[in-house]
Amino acid sequence: MIKKERLFVPVHKQKLAATLIFPENLQQRSPAILFIHGWRSNQEGVIEYAEALAQRGFMCMTFDQRGCGSSEGNIDALSRQDFLDDVLTAYDNLVTVVGVAPDTISVIGASFGGYLGTILTTRRRVKYLVLRAPADYPNEGIEKPHVLLPDTAKGAWRTQEHQSCESFALNALHTFSGRVLIVESGKDEQISPQTIANYANAVKDKEQLTHIVMEGAGHSLQEQKSRAEYRQILVNWFSAQVGF
């Protein structure tokens, strides 16, 4: 049976609420996965996926970004750079967990978490990268409160074609050499197909890319059917990568 451990991780004099999910048979060098939730969401929405992968032998970590869930902080005062610091802090904590092989850490990011997780690959070693309905943003304003982001950057900008050099996330993905899974929601009301295409086009080696469209799914996967479909996609894809 898998085991869960709740903990608080310090970041800039505040605390992140996190959860470690241990596989039943933790090895000396177990592969690990860091989950990064979306904007104004929290870790509770991804724990079921972490549990499913822990049952396959992965050590998993979920956490609440500052201002979300049980973590400290005022979300309205925090910037994308602040949230990236949260991700870096969570990753660095996961590396220290006994039994985790530091060179096998993968990242699963959804929406805003996909954006953050992609940039993470330029700061830390990431083996595999999963992006579900990843958001993208212009580079300008990354150090300003995220809530001040102009509506055009969340609307019109996302419907435009962008080259890999035009955003931090796309550039990071272009330089990432590991395998990438992009999961698109066919009925996404927030992330345009063009944004997904920009991410897919940024992958330099297309043989490293798997792109799956969940035809009936919305952005937040609120329906149980969609959540079950996504859970199975994750299990199948990771099983194929590591041979479980």
Rounded percentage of the chain residues whose pLDDT exceeds 70: 99
| Spatial CA neighbour of 133 closest among 179, 197, 185 | 185
224-234 average pLDDT score: 98
Q: What is the pLDDT of residue 25?
A: 81
Q: Which domain holds residue 106?
A: 3-242
**Residue 170 · residue 204 · CB < 8 Å:** no
189-203 average pLDDT score: 97
Q: What is the pLDDT of residue 27?
A: 78
Q: Where are the extended beta strands (E) located within the chain?
A: 3-11, 14-22, 30-36, 59-63, 100-110, 128-132, 179-185, 209-214
What's the token pair of residue 139? 């580079």
Q: What is the pLDDT of residue 155?
A: 85
With cut-offs at 50, 70 and 90, classify the pLDDT of residue 53. very high
Q: What is the pLDDT of residue 152?
A: 81
**Mean pLDDT over each residue of the chain, to the nearest integer:** 96
pLDDT tens, 57-102? 999 999 999 999 999 999 999 999 999 999 999 999 999 998 899 9
CA atoms within a 13 Å half-sphere pointing along the CA-CB vector of 137: 25
CATH of the domain at 176: 3.40.50.1820
Q: What is the pLDDT of residue 243?
A: 66
pLDDT tens, 104-131? 999 999 999 999 999 999 999 999 999 9
Among the residue ranges 2-11, 22-31, 130-139, 218-227, the one predicted with the least confidence is 22-31
pLDDT tens, 150-189? 988 888 899 999 999 999 999 999 999 999 999 999 999 9
Bridge partners, 130 (sequence order): 108, 181
CA pair distance 156, 74, nearest whole angstrom: 28
Would you give the distance in Å from CA 151 to the centre of its chain? 23
Q: What is the pLDDT of residue 153?
A: 83
CA pair distance 191, 177, nearest whole angstrom: 25
Q: Which residues contact 83 (CB under 8 A, 6 or more apart)?
A: 65, 66, 112, 116, 146
Q: What is the pLDDT of residue 244?
A: 58
- Quickly list DSSP for 6-20: EEEEEETTEEEEEEE
At residue 208, what is the residue type?
Q
Domain count for the chain, please give it: 1
- Please determine, for residue 24, whether its predicted confidence score (pLDDT) is greater than 90: no
At residue 193, what is the residue type?
P
